[in-house]
Amino acid sequence: MVSIVAANFARFGKRDEDIFAISSESALPIVDKFRDVIDFVVVSNSYSGEFNDISGLNNLLTTHLAIENVPSMRVDNTSGSGGSAVLVAKSLVASDEAKNVLVIGAEKMTGYPTKKSTRIIASLLPPEERRGGPSLPSLAAFMTRSYIREFSPTRESIAMVAVKNHHNGALNPYAHFQADVPLEKVMASRIIADPLRIFEYCPVSDGAVSLLVTSDENSKSLGNKSVKITGTGASSGTSSITSRESLVSIDSVKNSAKKAFKSARKTPQDMDIAELHDMASILEIVESEDVGFFKKGEGWKALETGETSIDGRLPINTSGGLNSKGHPIGASGVAQTAEIYLQLTGQAGKRQAKNVSTGFSLSMAGFGNNSTSFVYEVA
């Protein structure tokens, strides 16, 4: 069995420092404590070439961290890179290729015109669809309109995802946005892609987060609190959005979660807490259904009842999610695992949920082109 024994964030947001400094800020506390035992580094990053004019980031980082003899690689899966990187770390440990893997998720994306950032990220769409012009934000708007047509949620319940996640972000010292936003302000904010408004989208962020992944035998000797990864599931769907049968459900999310629960021998109803990929408000709702927490078409009700708030039955995105914590592409999936680790070990500070011993995270690439799900349990 493979466990997580450490997690550390560098603050997400608009940062002046370069990607080396931000990555090191997240990794150094772990490296300082576990320098002698770290034997592999997996860097989760998508766009160091496009945004930072850097390749071989993993090797430059091990040199920068003065652990230059530790082997490393970069794992990329666009927005879902972090899930893939944690899966690789787990596989390296489980297959005895490594004993203690430092995972560093990092992206430095701010400082460019939004048009340039959007164009770079849209390079994950199929060439024929890219020419047609849809961006990821507009795909989320299509999804929202389909969801409203099909299931008649209140419009407010969708916006409540932003209210809830901004509230959580306000309690997270590493979040990009750390201020509550009332529902009225969300509903009155600028429309980005009708009907979705600016507070319902994640911002463009810099940020980094690091984890130490280890085998169970090691986890005790390392002395830190540990959380087991008891289930994993990876799945893909077509990258061609126009070829999909449904716009209110995501195949890769459904299938990856199913696999993860099966391998953990758990059900969605066994989970105490979850981190989902809320690039746009609607996605948290759709994913909470696809993963199996709620019936299809009913996920929006949890926002009205408060079931997914920090003090609810199943807190979702206590970290603030991508929506408020921010979305440094390569860091986001690693951050989800880090948040569950902090929550299950009682280290989540002001945003700590009560009585949580099982958790779930969903790391998603593109617009559901790929998903990796994890089930976690307190060791």
The contacts of residue 220 (CB under 8 Å, 6+ apart) are 226
Q: CA-CA distances (angstroms) from residue 362 to 108, 154, 269, 344?
A: 22, 25, 16, 16
Choice from 4, 27, 30, 121 touching a second copy (CB under 8 A)? 121
What one-character-per-residue DSSP string does 136-183 give?
A: HHHHHHHHHHHHHHHH---HHHHHHHHHHHHHHHHT-TT-S--S---H
Judge residue 190's burial from the number of C-beta atoms within 10 Å of its C-beta, 0-12 exposed, 13-18 middle, 19 or more buried.
exposed
Token readout for 330 is 């390569």
Dist CA 345 CA 224 (whole Å): 10
Question: Toward a second copy, which CB reaches closer, 62 or 249?
Answer: 62
Instruction: Examine residue 189 and tell whether it contacts a second copy (CB under 8 A).
Output: no
CB of 32 to a second copy, least distance (A): 19
Please work out, in degrees rounded to the nearest 5, the angle formed at the alpha carbon of residue 106 by the alpha carbons of 354 and 113: 110
Question: Toward a second copy, which CB reaches closer, 87 or 283?
Answer: 87
Dist CA 328 CA 105 (whole Å): 9
Question: Toward a second copy, which CB reaches closer, 92 or 285?
Answer: 92
Name beta bridge partners: 209: 9, 105
CB of 82 to a second copy, least distance (A): 11
Residue whose tokens read 């126009």: 242
Region of 65-73, 190-198, 273-281, 318-326 interacting with a second copy (CB under 8 A): 65-73
Residue whose tokens read 């603030």: 320
Q: For residue 126, how far is the Cα from the chain centroid?
A: 23
Local structure of 53: helix, strand or coil: coil
Instruction: Examine residue 23 and tell whether it contacts a second copy (CB under 8 A).
Output: no
Question: Toward a second copy, which CB reaches closer, 243 or 357?
Answer: 243
Choice from 38, 75, 209, 227 touching a second copy (CB under 8 A)? 75
Question: Toward a second copy, which CB reaches closer, 71 or 297?
Answer: 71
Beta-sheet pairing, 191-193 with 227-236: unpaired
Dist CA 27 CA 235 (whole Å): 29
Choice from 154, 240, 242, 246 touching a second copy (CB under 8 A)? 240
Does 195 sit behind a cis peptide bond, omega within 30 degrees of 0 on the bond before it?
yes
Local structure of 98: helix, strand or coil: coil
Identify the helix (H) or strand (E) that includes residue 377. strand 370-378
Choice from 9, 12, 34, 40 touching a second copy (CB under 8 A)? 40
Instruction: Examine residue 16 and tell whether it contacts a second copy (CB under 8 A).
Output: no
Dist CA 190 CA 48 (whole Å): 30
Choice from 23, 308, 309, 370 touching a second copy (CB under 8 A)? 370
Amino acid residing at 113? P
Choice from 14, 21, 33, 59 touching a second copy (CB under 8 A)? 59
CB of 361 to a second copy, least distance (A): 16
Amino acid residing at 299? G
Instruction: Examine residue 50 and tell whether it contacts a second copy (CB under 8 A).
Output: yes
Choice from 1, 94, 222, 379 touching a second copy (CB under 8 A)? 94
Question: Toward a second copy, which CB reaches closer, 65 or 314?
Answer: 65
Choice from 11, 27, 86, 90 touching a second copy (CB under 8 A)? 90
Instruction: Examine residue 58 and tell whether it contacts a second copy (CB under 8 A).
Output: yes
Site string for a second copy, 122-161 (x = CB under 8 A): -xx-xx----------------------------------
CA gyration radius, the chain: 19
Region of 73-81, 211-219, 314-322, 332-340 interacting with a second copy (CB under 8 A): 73-81
Question: Toward a second copy, which CB reaches closer, 31 or 88?
Answer: 88
The residue ranges that bind a second copy (CB under 8 A) are 40, 46-47, 49-50, 53-56, 58-60, 62-63, 68-78, 81, 84, 87-88, 90-92, 94-97, 120-121, 123-124, 126-127, 232, 234-240, 251-252, 255-256, 365-366, 369-370, 372
